[in-house]
Each structure stands twice: as structure tokens, then as C-alpha cells.
């Protein structure tokens, strides 16, 4: 009874809340890091060093007037932000934050569930989010959002091919689709997959930037061209849902990258006995640190680079990343066969 219902429910509540807090603080982190990169201070007014800014933002967005354009498709307009937000949150169901640990005399695994098709689940759920963007652009009945959502769908679909192909090469290495087993495979293999699959790692990272609509691939919401992109017509909490979904997706991408390529919760050099003293740090801390590194790079890239043009981005995706990913997959397969 407890193992079947109470613990999973508790885990869901904790992960969901932690994610939402993480997402809102990710926004603050981004504003702060970019501000430092640009020799500014960033938010400083709400709380010491602006740490209560996310709270103020949430309150502001909630009390804003919620406008639905007269000519919008009301139902789709309402559904779009939800369709965009929900997949970003439920992906966390399979992300392992740590191995089994004993809590109050019980063996508890630090993931909500460990399904044997975990990676497939991540890929398929994450790709549902694009419907939110397409529907938002269509339902707004306005030209800029329409253009932006057309760009978004083309971009997301083409980059998903490249990203998924890199995931296949990881699966070839690990021999499993379960997220927990992939981490275990890195422990048994004595090396993080980022080092044996550098090409897949790089392609995955670039693809992740594009899939989460982040700079330099933030085409769908290119503020300077399309005045805000697909969410131009949205206001208040509905806009906030799109906004949060974007950051939730960034965190998902970082977590998946950590799990697949940087050994998840494993400490550095997990098999070197000399570093065993690092064991006093809880495993989930390593996971958070590694994810944080990814998040930081996401922000750093945004502060540094200009934006690609839409056609250049598609060219990069189809002519560079996808062939690279396929070649990497073929080579991985051949090497794997030759070694076994």
C-alpha cells in the first residue's frame, strides 16, 4: 500500500513542486547571469539581490488581465498553453535523480518511475509540446504568431530527427532504453558516454538548443522580427505558461543530457577508489551540479551569440547535424559489432 501509492504520490508532489520552483528560479538565474555578462546587476529590488523576483513576477502575471482576441479560436486558444506546459512537466516522471537510497528504513529509488522504455517516453512526450506552439499560432488568428508557429513546427520537427538519432547511438552503447540502466551502464563501462560518444554529445547539445527554442535558434520567438512570436497575443497567466514551458524544457534537456552523457548521479570517476571520500556528497547533488552546468551553458550561449536565420538553421539541421548523427550511429554500430 505505502510502496504502491503513498511513496509515488509523495515523489510526484515533491518533483512537481521542485520543478516549478526550479523553473521560476531558472528565469532569475538567466536574468542574473546575462546581466553579469553585460556588466549590469540584473534584478536587485525584490528581496536581497533580487532573490524574490520570481515571486513578484508570478504575482504580477496572475493579476494581469487575461485577454482573448475576439477573432481567436477560443477553445484552441485556451488549450494551447496547457498542451505546451503539461508535456514539459510529465517528462520528469522517468528522470532519475539518484540510485536507490534507504530512507526511514525503506528502499526508495530517486526517480518517480523507471519504465523500460524511459528514453522513448522522453522523446515522445517532449515532442507533444510542439502542438502547443502550432495551435497557439493558429488560434491567435494573427499574422506574426502564424509565421512564428510555422517556423517553430518546422524547426522542432527537423531537429528532433537529429536529436533522436544521437539518442539511438547512446542506446546502442547502453543496450537499454531505461534511464536508470543507462546510468548503470556508464558505471559498469567506467566512463561517461560523453567521452565515448563526443559527436553524439555535441549534436545532442546543439539539437537541444534548437528544440528548446533557445538562442541562437530562438527563431519562433525572434522578438526583433516577429514581435514576440507565437505568444504575441497571449497575456497574463497563459503567457506565463508558455514562458514556464520553455524553461521547463530547458531543464528537461539539461537533465536528459546529464543522464545520458554525463553519468547522471554518478560522482566523477565513479570507479576510482581514491576518490571514494567524495561519497559523503549525496548522489542527487552530483546530478543537480551537472544539470546546472548545462543550464549555465544554455544561458551563456544566449548572452554571446547572434541569431541564425530561419533557412540557415534548417540547412544546419538537415545538411550538417542529421548526416553527422547518422554517420555516428553507423560507426557506433560497426565498432560495437567488431568489439563483441
Partner 1 sequence: MFDTNELVLNMGPQHPSTHGVLRVVLRLDGEKVVDSDVVIGYLHRGIEKLSENRNWTQIILLTDRMDYVAAAINNVGYCETVEKLMSLEVPRRARYVRTILCELQRIASHCLWVGTHAMDIGAMTVFLYAFRERELILDLFEEFCGARLTYNSMRIGGLPLDIPPGWDKKVLEFCKIMDSKIDEYEELLTHNRIWLERTRGIGVISGPHAVALGLSGPPLRGSGVPRDVRKDEPYAAYDEMQFDVPIGLAGDTYDRYLVRMEEFRQSLRIIRQGTEGIPEGPIVGKVPRLIKPPAGETYHAIESPKGELGYFIVSDGKSTNPYRFRVRPPSFCNLQGLRTLIKGHLIADVVALIGSLDVVLGEVDR
The residues of the shown chain that bind partner 1, judged by CB under 8 A, are 34, 37-40, 143-144, 147, 151, 215-216, 218, 222-227, 303-312
> Which residue, 43 or 263, has its beta carbon nearer to partner 1?
43
Give the shortest CB-148-to-partner 1 separation in angstroms. 10
Give the shortest CB-307-to-partner 1 separation in angstroms. 3
> Which residue, 231 or 290, has its beta carbon nearer to partner 1?
231
Give the shortest CB-152-to-partner 1 separation in angstroms. 13
Give the shortest CB-199-to-partner 1 separation in angstroms. 19
3-state secondary structure the chain: CHHHHHHHHHHHHHHHHHHHHHHHHHHHHHHHHHHHHCCCCCCCCCCHHHCCHHHHHHHHHHHCCCCCCCCCCHHHHHHHHHHHHHHHHHHHHHCCCCCEEEECCEEEECCCCCCCCHHHHHHHHHHHHHHHHHHHHHHCCCHHHHHHHHHHHHHHHHHHHHHHHHHHHHHHHHCCCCHHHHHHHHHHCCCCHHHHCHHHHHHHHHHHHHHCCCCCCCHHHCHHHHCCHHHCCCCHHHHHHHHHHHHHHHHHHHHHHHHHHCCCCCCCCCCCHHHHHHHHCCHHHHHHHHHHHHHHHHHHHHHHCCCCCHHHHHHHHHHHHHHHHHHHHHHHHHHHHHHC
Give the shortest CB-201-to-partner 1 separation in angstroms. 20
> Which residue, 247 or 310, has its beta carbon nearer to partner 1?
310
Give the shortest CB-250-to-partner 1 separation in angstroms. 17
> Which residue, 130 or 215, has its beta carbon nearer to partner 1?
215
> Which residue, 174 or 299, has its beta carbon nearer to partner 1?
299
> Which residue, 147 or 322, has its beta carbon nearer to partner 1?
147
Amino acid at each position: 500500500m505505502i510502496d504502491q501509492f503513498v511513496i509515488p504520490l509523495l515523489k510526484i508532489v515533491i518533483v512537481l513542486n521542485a520543478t516549478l520552483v526550479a523553473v521560476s528560479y531558472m528565469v532569475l538565474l538567466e536574468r542574473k547571469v546575462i546581466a553579469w555578462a553585460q556588466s549590469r546587476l540584473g534584478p536587485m529590488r525584490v528581496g536581497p539581490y533580487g532573490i524574490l523576483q520570481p515571486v513578484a513576477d508570478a504575482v504580477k502575471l496572475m493579476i494581469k488581465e487575461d485577454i482573448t482576441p475576439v477573432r481567436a479560436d477560443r477553445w484552441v486558444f485556451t488549450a494551447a498553453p496547457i498542451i505546451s506546459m503539461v508535456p514539459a512537466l510529465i517528462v520528469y516522471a522517468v528522470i532519475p535523480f539518484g540510485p536507490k537510497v534507504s530512507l526511514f528504513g525503506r528502499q526508495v529509488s530517486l526517480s518517480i518511475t523507471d519504465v523500460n522504455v524511459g528514453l522513448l517516453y522522453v522523446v515522445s512526450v517532449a515532442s507533444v509540446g510542439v502542438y502547443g506552439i502550432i495551435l497557439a499560432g493558429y488560434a491567435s488568428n494573427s499574422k506574426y504568431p502564424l509565421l512564428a508557429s510555422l517556423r517553430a513546427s518546422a524547426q522542432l520537427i527537423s531537429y528532433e530527427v537529429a536529436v533522436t538519432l544521437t539518442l539511438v547511438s547512446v542506446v546502442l552503447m547502453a543496450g537499454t532504453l531505461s534511464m536508470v540502466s543507462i546510468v548503470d551502464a556508464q558505471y559498469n563501462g567506467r566512463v561517461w558516454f560523453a567521452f565515448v560518444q563526443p559527436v553524439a554529445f555535441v549534436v545532442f547539445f546543439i539539437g537541444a538548443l534548437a528544440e528548446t527554442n533557445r538562442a541562437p535558434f530562438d527563431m519562433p520567438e525572434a522578438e526583433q522580427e516577429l514581435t514576440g512570436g507565437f505568444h504575441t497575443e497571449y497575456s497574463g497567466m497563459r503567457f506565463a505558461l508558455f514562458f514556464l514551458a520553455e524553461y521547463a524544457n530547458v531543464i528537461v534537456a539539461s537533465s536528459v543530457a546529464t543522464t545520458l552523457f554525463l553519468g547522471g548521479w554518478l560522482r566523477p570517476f565513479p570507479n576510482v577508489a581514491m576518490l571514494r571520500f567524495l561519497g559523503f556528497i549525496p548522489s542527487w547533488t552530483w546530478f543537480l551540479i551537472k544539470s546546472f552546468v548545462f543550464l549555465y551553458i544554455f544561458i551563456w550561449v544566449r548572452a554571446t551569440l547572434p541569431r541564425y536565420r530561419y533557412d540557415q538553421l534548417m540547412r544546419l539541421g538537415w545538411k550538417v547535424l542529421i548526416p553527422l548523427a547518422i554517420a555516428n550511429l553507423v560507426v557506433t554500430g560497426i565498432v560495437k559489432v567488431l568489439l563483441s
